């Protein structure tokens, strides 16, 4: 019987650990954003400037062809268009992450710097090319990680080849 005591203690410890784990998991589930707490943001992500700019590098054109082939972009350069739900006071960067697109970024002193979306990255289509964002048609003067969105905002992420590409018409 004494040999059973250490085994019983181990079983009790394992059961306690499992109980604490599952209790913690349930508590985390309660913290999940409820739909009535979320704000809705209209998001568009495009790389239309690759199609409309004669200064695009061959690498940029090849990458767009690959994105189209993999169904990550349509023929017009549209990569995502839809509504995303985020918690109140979350950023333009968070909304981008909620699109389901692959987002690669680097942390900087100014917040996250979006390096690539779905494999299309800065300098891929020319020396000045990269990702920029607009909120309600305006270019904010802060990092996307610092710009807090409000319910109903319209967020547009655009891959630009040159600065003049920023305000091209939507695809």
Q: Evaluate whether 116 touches 122 at the Cβ level (below 8 Å).
A: yes
Question: 130: which residues sit within 8 A by CB, 6+ positions away?
Answer: 121, 122, 123, 159, 160
User: Would you give per-residue pLDDT tens digits along the chain (171 residues)?
Assistant: 555 565 555 554 454 444 334 434 333 333 344 566 899 999 999 999 898 888 888 998 899 999 999 999 999 999 999 999 999 989 999 999 999 999 999 998 989 999 999 999 999 998 999 999 999 999 999 999 999 999 999 999 999 998 777 777 755
The confidence score (pLDDT) of residue 170 equals 58
Contact 143, 113 (CB under 8 A): yes
State how far the Cα of 121 lies from the Cα of 131, in Å rounded to an integer: 7
Whole-prediction pTM: 0.76
Mention the CATH class of domain 35-165.
Answer: mainly beta
The span from the CA of 117 to the CA of 101, in Å, is 7
149 class by beta-carbon count within 10 Å (0-12 exposed, 13-18 middle, 19+ buried): buried
Quote the pLDDT of residue 54.
Answer: 84
In the prediction, which pLDDT does 164 show? 76
H-helix or E-strand spanning residue 86:
strand 78-86
């Amino acid at each position: 019987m004494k040999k059973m005591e250490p085994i019983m203690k181990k079983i009790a410890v394992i059961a306690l650990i499992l109980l604490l784990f599952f209790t913690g998991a349930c508590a985390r589930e309660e913290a999940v954003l409820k739909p009535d707490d979320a704000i809705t943001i209209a998001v568009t992500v495009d790389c239309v400037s690759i199609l409309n700019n004669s200064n695009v590098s061959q690498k940029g054109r090849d990458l767009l062809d690959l994105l189209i082939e993999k169904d990550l972009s349509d023929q017009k350069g549209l990569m995502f268009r839809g509504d995303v739900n985020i918690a109140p006071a979350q950023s333009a960067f968070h909304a981008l992450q909620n699109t389901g697109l692959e987002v690669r970024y680097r942390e900087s002193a100014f917040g996250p710097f979006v390096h690539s979306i779905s494999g299309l990255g800065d300098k891929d289509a020319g020396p000045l090319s990269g990702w920029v964002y607009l909120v309600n048609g305006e270019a904010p003067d802060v990092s996307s990680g610092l710009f807090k969105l409000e319910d109903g905002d319209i967020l547009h992420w655009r891959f630009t080849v040159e600065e003049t590409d920023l305000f091209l018409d939507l695809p």
